[in-house]
Amino acid sequence: MEIGLYLLAALVAYLLGSIPTGYVIARLRGNVDLLQLGSKRTGATNVLRTMGWKAAAPVFCGDFLKGVVAILIARALTQGDPIGDVAAGLAVLAGHNYSVFIGFRGGRGVTTGLGTLAVIAPVVLVVSAAIAIAIIAWSRYVSLGSVLGSCTVPVVLLISVLLLGQPFPHFLFGLLGAAFVIASHKDNIQRLLNGTERKLGQRVNP
């Protein structure tokens, strides 16, 4: 497989990930600048806190679809090569978190990462999402659920590689992708340790 196709898949995925779904919807629905409010991120959680679930729902769907479409395009370009999945998966996360369209700012990659897993490893998506949701329901901290749920992704992917024949490059994506998402929660982790992190349901007034 020509390396140019991997690079093309990564470039397309990055640009797709860079579409700032949350930023655009916040501007359209209330002329709200997410980069100045709450966590100053463009993901669904910040939209939920600043504008409510009616705005957050389409943001979640849009960010999720970015991950799905990025992998599907990569598979079309690379004939289903797992390395293409890795290149596109990491690139779409980078685009979402560091969008070229809004000054290399963005979200934290959780929802877009879920979209990639929906294509790459649906079983891993279900297991990790279930764990994350359970933690959020128990603690009321979205960030805690996101971080601990991300930690389970490479573990479950490795089990899938060993027992279910999942391609090994997918484990590498899970490992690197999870590390990337967890690193993007550095400020959340600090607030959790300090006891100042906002819980689910706490609003930020625009």
Asked if residue 185 lies in contact with residue 145, where contact means CB atoms within 8 angstroms, the answer is no
**pLDDT, position 30:** 83
Region 6-19 average pLDDT: 98
Asked if residue 55 lies in contact with residue 47, where contact means CB atoms within 8 angstroms, the answer is yes
**pLDDT, position 204:** 66
**pLDDT, position 38:** 87
Residue type at position 83: I
**pLDDT, position 202:** 72
Residue with tokens 């929906």: 118
**Closest alpha carbon to 167 in 75, 32, 104:** 75
Region 118-134 average pLDDT: 97
Model confidence at 203: pLDDT above 90: no
Model confidence at 205: pLDDT above 70: no
Percent of the chain clearing pLDDT 90 (strictly above): 90
Task: Write phi, then psi, for 37 (nearest 5 degrees).
Answer: -125, 150
pLDDT tens string 13-46: 999 999 999 999 999 988 889 999 889 999 999 9
Distance CA 134, CA 11 (A): 35
Distance CA 48, CA 55 (A): 7
**Closest alpha carbon to 185 in 147, 131, 149:** 147
| Domain ranges (residues) in the chain | 3-194
Residue type at position 188: N
Distance CA 190, CA 194 (A): 6
